[in-house]
Amino acid sequence: MKWNNHKEYEGKHAFMSPSNYHWLNYTDIVFESRYYSQYSQLIGTTIHQLAHDCISSRMKLSKHDIHIVQMYLWKAFIPKDAYDANRILTTLVPFVNDAIGFHMSSEILLFYNEFCFGTADAISYSDYDKTLRIHDLKSGLNPADMRQCHIYAALFCLEYNINPKKLKLIECRIYQNLEEQPVLVDQPSADYIQEIMDYIQLRSKNIESYLEREGR
């Protein structure tokens, strides 16, 4: 048997793949919903890139800039029926404008070690004011957990050798689905951030012991 060559699709996954056989039972409504939902991750990546470009260039957005959202998503080959541009813009405008107003940096990778690192959507630190701000942008509908921002705060303190107890303010914000809810704001205590820092260090040592046990 001479098999056909499909190298361009190797490593990719089809929407109607045999391994995801549940689509056999989808109704028309569910099938359409699941088809468009496959773009959710790409939409999130694209919107974060748009936010990063605006913050980096200090270009504020307004409610009239829906064409910018549409252009970015169009360039990413995302079908129009996969997103609600107005809903995205409603959340994007305050996230971008607040980040610019607080003189924050965008898409900053915070690194403790190879086992624990992550990229903050927007972050700023003032040594003069002893203030740390971390803002997170969520494009999905599933409720976000503020602990993600808390971990970013702990990572920042670990990487830059900052004692959280010497900070006057640690403020974390989540921008998500702002058509239906306000910006989520939290000011975690220094003791709590220190607990996360200690936990990161403890679990890092655990992983190192696993690797030593395996002779790596």
- Give the pLDDT band of residue 167 (cuts 50, 70, 90): very high
- Return the percentage of the chain with pLDDT > 90, whole number: 92
Per-residue model confidence (pLDDT) at position 29? 97
Residue 130 zone, left/alpha/beta (φ > 0; ψ -120 to 50; rest): left
Q: Which residues pair with 113 in a beta bridge?
A: 116
* Per-residue pLDDT reduced to its tens digit, 49-85: 999 999 999 999 999 999 999 999 999 999 999 999 9
* Per-residue pLDDT reduced to its tens digit, 2-38: 999 999 999 888 999 999 999 999 999 999 999 999 9
The token pair that represents 83 in the structure block: 């997103």
pTM over 0.75, yes/no: yes
* Per-residue pLDDT reduced to its tens digit, 107-128: 999 999 999 999 999 999 999 9
For residues 105 and 120, give the distance between their C-alpha atoms in angstroms, rounded to a whole number.
9
Quote the Cα angle for 78-141-200, to 5°: 105
Average pLDDT, the chain: 96
